[in-house]
Amino acid sequence: MAYVITDQCIACGSCESQCPVGAISMGDGKFEINPDTCIDCGSCAGQCPVGAIEQG
């Protein structure tokens, strides 16, 4: 199951550069993960400074 970015996201962008498949992009006020592209590697979750990324 793909990772998701919760409303706790502070839009810092640290997760976007960590995604090896480019599944993360800026959405409406926060970053979003495309579930069709996400490969469940968890790289983004480890990079988030506020813990806003969790496995969906």
Tell me the per-residue pLDDT of 17-35, one tens digit each, with 9 for 90 and over.
999 999 999 999 999 999 9
Which residue ranges make up each domain of the chain?
Answer: 3-55
Left, alpha or beta for 42 (phi > 0: left; psi -120 to 50: alpha)? left
- At 1, the pLDDT band (50, 70, 90 cuts) reads confident
**pTM for this prediction:** 0.90
User: Alpha helices, DSSP H only, in the chain?
Assistant: 43-47
Provide the CATH topology of domain 3-55.
Alpha-Beta Plaits (3.30.70)
User: Is there a contact between 53 and 27 (Cβ–Cβ < 8 Å)?
Assistant: no
pLDDT of 56 strictly over 90: no
